[in-house]
Structure formats: structure tokens, C-alpha cells
Amino acid sequence: MVATLGTYYIAERQPARYESSTQVFVSESQIASIAEGGAIVGTPRATQDEATLLLSAPVTKAVIQRLHLPDTPAGLLGTVTATPSAAADSITVTAERGSGAQAAAVANAYVTQYIIYSDTELKRQGAATIKILAAELKALRISPATAQQRQNIADTISRVQAAEASGPSPANQTQPAVAPGVPSAPQPKRDATFAFAIALGLGLALAFALERFDRRIKELEEIPELYGAPLLAVIPHTSTPMTAHDGVAAVPPALREPLRSLKTNLGLAGLEKPVRRVVVASAISGEGKSTIVSNLALTYRESGLSVVVVEADIRRPSLGATWGVSQTPGLTGVLAGECELSDALVQIEIDAPDLELLEALRVDGEFEQPRAPAAASNTLALLPSGSTPPNPQAVLGSEKMQQIIEQLAERFDFVVIDTPPLLAVSDAVPLLSHVDGVILVSRVGVTERHSAQRAAAATRLDPGVRLLGVVANDVSRQPGGGYGYGYGYGYGYGYGN
């Protein structure tokens, strides 16, 4: 649209230009034809040569003098073309000027001056031919042996003299130029249409190139194939993906139904083996896994189940800061033996007015044995990350970490663990085989295809890892809408293709 409108705007403001054309027929000169038999001079020129002669400097200067034009020869030649015809011995002369009358005058003047110049050249050519023939005749000795040759040369001289005296010009104007009524340029509509076609072609080529070389996931349909796992839920884009006001956490209204669908699908995935301990991971940073962790925990808690969130992303924790709680002593404090597990757990107040009723009505047949409710009705438990140890991978892969997960599973209905991105660091890998399942988070428009494949492959290194599926996060269906709500991880890692 910019190219089209811009071209129309520029073309509409250009000065008007008019084109007028005339045609001149070029025949072989009689002098050249007469001289051809004796191979003296003047072989006929091609039409292309005549077109070059028509636009020569002598003809151009004569036109400027004839019409009293202010143009220089070079400037005038830039407005005139001479196009020889391939099918006939004719030349089309076209002139472009600021007015129709001047365009016709210039075209006609060129033909007129060309004819005059051609006549002059023919006379010069005839005189030169006669001079050469006369010299040749004078050089022949008078004898019976040369009588016939001398007669032939004399006859040729007579014919050349007769042609020079009365022969017609080899050039003849057949269609005089007339002044056009409408300008030939500018043509805003034509130029705008042409610009639109060119811009559209370039735009399509650019779009194809971007699509071809853009390695990000663009469509939801790509996710199951890339990850080799089912799509568990589609989480729509919202400007407030995590809500926590005055220490009270709640699921954003726009995400309630998608997260309930995710909970339902996890329940279906656990028909044979209940899913009570879940690791939520992602391939790279910026995919919103911590957002999914917090909202999934709130969704389970709102359904009447006791829930604990383990912040195992101890390099770059975010949940404690989001909910406004201290990170210490946290998980690393328990692992180091600095405090008991119960002392490290923090109760997060949530906005769930129907929670007491749901707890009273809940059926514990969903799990192997009944679980104790949380310490307070409208809360869920958080185990913050604690201080960052020198070797996070060794800490998370320790036997003590497995014991903590088992203890939490005994006390709570649902344990959800937030981990670092799988391709950033390998901290989360030891945890994957010690839970009931792994959920990978993918962000359409952010996650690259090869990153998705590598993350899924990382979950298959250990046969004991159970990949439950993938959650497509922050999906926008609005035309022109972007992806992203500004979640940043900040590891700054890099990886190859």
C-alpha cells in the first residue's frame, strides 16, 4: 500500500509530457544501385544505420536551429527515439515534449532535416562516384581492346548524372506527426498499478523467504509432531498472566477454562498411573513455564486439592518474588540440613471463595490414599528456592532431593516443580525420572523448531521419564497480535543448529 499510494502521489505531481510519432520510409538510393554493378562506391545502408544517421549530431543541430529550441544537442536527443522496423524499411521517430504541439514539431523537424541531410549526402556520393569513374576512364588507354570497357564506364557515368539530377530522395515521410490531445505521462493509475504488482511480488517473495528461514514454531499443529507428544492445552495471551495483589494469588479470568482443561487432560493421562508429581520445564527461556506452574497450582488448589509448588529453578527463581515471599531458607536450606521441610514451606494466600465447600465435598478416590488439607483453607504451599549453591545440578540430583519430593507427595495431593530451561542448563535432568510426569511448555512464535526437538529428546534420554505432553503458551488469535508478555529468563546461553 505504501508503494502504491506513494507512486500515485509522486506521479500525479510530475509535469505533463506529450508524445508524438511520425514514420519515414527509407529506400535504396538510385546512385548506390547504379554504382553497385561496377563495385565503385555506395553500397546501400541498413535501416538501423539510417536510424543512427537520423539521430546524428548534424541532424540534431539542424532541428534546434530550425525550431529555435533552447535545448542542447544532448538534451534534445534524450527526448527523441528512432526505432527501425524489422518487417519494412521504415523508421518510427517519437518525440516527447512538454506540449503536444512541440512534440509533433520536433518529430516532423527531425524527419525533414534527415531528408535534407540524406539528399545532400546523395549528391556528395554522386559527385564522388562520377569523379572515381572519370579517373578510371581516363586511366584506360584508347584501343580496340578497351573500347567495350570504356563504353561501360561512360554509360555508368551518364546514369549517375541522370539519377543525381532527377532521382527522388531515398527517404520519404509517410505519416506526419500530429499533436496529441492527452499527455503520455505521467499516468498515476498505471504507475500505481505497476508499483502495486511489483511491491506485491516482492512482499510475497519476502514473506516466503522469512517463512522459509524463520525456525520458530508458527502453528499449533506443528507442536505434537515436533515434540512427539500430545498437545495438552492451549493457553491464550493475556496482559496479566500472573496475578498477585496484596499477597493474594488468583488465576487470571482469561486463563481459568484453559487451565481447567489442562488439569482434566492430566487426569486422563493418569488413569493408569496417577499424576501427582509433575515437573514443568521448557526448552529455552521466555516460554512462560513459571507462569504455567503458578496458575496450574492455583487451578488444582481451587478444585479442593492440597498443592505444593517447588521452586527448583534455583539459579533464576521468580515465583517467590512474584508472590512476595522470602527465598530463604527454602529448598537449599532443607537440602543443607539448616531447617526442617515444614519450616521452609511458605503458605501463599489465594483468592478461592468456594474452596472450603469443595474440600468438604471432595472424593479422595482420585488418589491412592486421602491427603491432609493445607494448613489454611485459602492457601497453597510454596517451597522457595533458597540461596544458590555452587553446583545446582549436583544438589537437585542428590538422594536428599528425592526424599524431599517423596515427603511432599505424602503430605500434598499435587506437587508441581518449576525447573530451569532444559537447553540452558542440565539442572532439571536428574528430577525428570523422579516424578510422575513431565510437562513441556512451548511458546508459539518464540520457541524454535530445533529447540523443541532437542528439549523433547532430552526427556527421552532416561527410559524412566514420562513425557505427558506439551502446553502451548501465550497464543494470540487476534489479527496482527504479537506473542509475549515480557517474561525473561536471563541465562544468556547459546546453542548451535
Which pLDDT tens digits describe the chain residue by residue (497 residues)?
Answer: 888 888 888 878 888 889 999 988 887 554 455 554 443 344 445 778 888 888 999 999 999 999 999 999 999 999 999 998 866 678 899 999 989 899 999 999 999 998 888 777 777 777 777 778 778 777 777 777 777 777 777 777 777 666 666 555 567 888 899 999 888 888 888 888 999 999 999 989 988 887 778 888 888 999 999 999 999 999 998 888 776 666 688 888 889 999 999 999 999 988 888 899 999 999 998 898 999 999 999 999 988 899 999 999 888 888 888 888 888 888 999 998 899 999 999 998 888 766 666 656 655 544 444 454 444 468 899 999 888 888 888 888 889 999 999 999 999 999 999 999 998 888 888 889 889 999 999 998 889 999 999 999 999 988 889 999 999 998 986 444 433 333 333 333 333 33
Residue with cell 523422579: 434
- Give residue 141's pLDDT: 75
Q: Show the cell assigned to 315.
A: 539459579
- Give residue 495's pLDDT: 31
Beta pairing, strands 171-175 & 18-26: antiparallel
- Alpha carbon distance 200, 144 (integer Å): 84
- Alpha carbon distance 380, 325 (integer Å): 13
- Give residue 15's pLDDT: 84
In angstroms, how far is the first alpha carbon of the chain from the final one?
A: 37
203 in a structural domain = no
204 in a structural domain = no
Instruction: Output the domain CATH number for residue 238.
Output: 3.40.50.300
Residue 94: closest CA among 80, 108, 84, 105 = 80
- Give residue 45's pLDDT: 56
Same domain, 239 and 154: no
| Last residue in a domain, options 136, 163, 184 | 184
Same domain, 414 and 269: yes
Same domain, 175 and 43: yes
Count the Cβ atoms, other than its own, within 10 Å of residue 135.
9
Residue with cell 500525479: 12
- Give residue 481's pLDDT: 43
Same domain, 59 and 100: yes
- Give residue 373's pLDDT: 47
Work out how many domains the chain is built from and give that number. 2
Cis amide linkage into residue 329, ω under 30° from 0: yes
484 in a structural domain = no
Alpha helices for 167-269 (secondary structure H): 188-213, 222-227, 256-269
Buried b (16+ CB within 10 A) or exposed e, 372-391: ebbeeebbbbbbbbbeebee
Q: Show the cell assigned to 69.
A: 529550441
Sequence-distant (6+) residues with CB within 8 A of 242 are 252, 291, 294, 295, 322
- Alpha carbon distance 40, 317 (integer Å): 102
| Last residue in a domain, options 167, 184, 201 | 184
Instruction: Output the domain CATH number for residue 176.
Output: 3.30.1890
Task: Provide the β-strand partners of residue 249.
Answer: 244, 350
- Alpha carbon distance 272, 274 (integer Å): 7
4 in a structural domain = no
Residue 31: closest CA among 136, 154, 130, 153 = 130
- Give residue 404's pLDDT: 94
Same domain, 79 and 27: yes
Residue 343, CB-side half-sphere exposure with 13 Å CA sphere: 10
Same domain, 118 and 64: yes
- Give residue 388's pLDDT: 85
User: Hey, what long-range contacts does 36-45 have (CB within 8 A, 24 or more apart)?
Assistant: 37/156, 38/133, 38/152, 38/153, 38/156, 40/129, 40/132, 40/133, 40/156, 41/125, 41/128, 41/129, 41/132, 42/125, 42/129
The continuous run of DSSP H or E covering 440 comes out as strand 437-443
- Give residue 108's pLDDT: 93
- Give residue 429's pLDDT: 87
Same domain, 245 and 388: yes
- Give residue 57's pLDDT: 92
Q: How many angstroms separate the Cα of 480 from the Cα of each of 213, 472, 483? A: 20, 19, 10
3-state secondary structure of 22: strand
Contact indicator for 285, 489 with CB cutoff of 8 Å: yes
Same domain, 276 and 153: no
| Last residue in a domain, options 134, 164, 184 | 184
Same domain, 237 and 172: no
Same domain, 277 and 129: no
Buried b (16+ CB within 10 A) or exposed e, 272-303: eebbbbbbbbbbbbbbbbbbbbbbbbbbbbbb
11 in a structural domain = no
- Alpha carbon distance 156, 455 (integer Å): 98
Cis amide linkage into residue 370, ω under 30° from 0: no
Please give the residue range of the domain that contains residue 252.
217-475
Same domain, 173 and 302: no
- Alpha carbon distance 89, 172 (integer Å): 11
60 in a structural domain = yes
Same domain, 148 and 221: no
- Give residue 248's pLDDT: 82
208 in a structural domain = no
326 in a structural domain = yes
Q: How many angstroms separate the Cα of 387 from the Cα of each of 136, 286, 311, 342, 406? A: 117, 23, 12, 17, 22
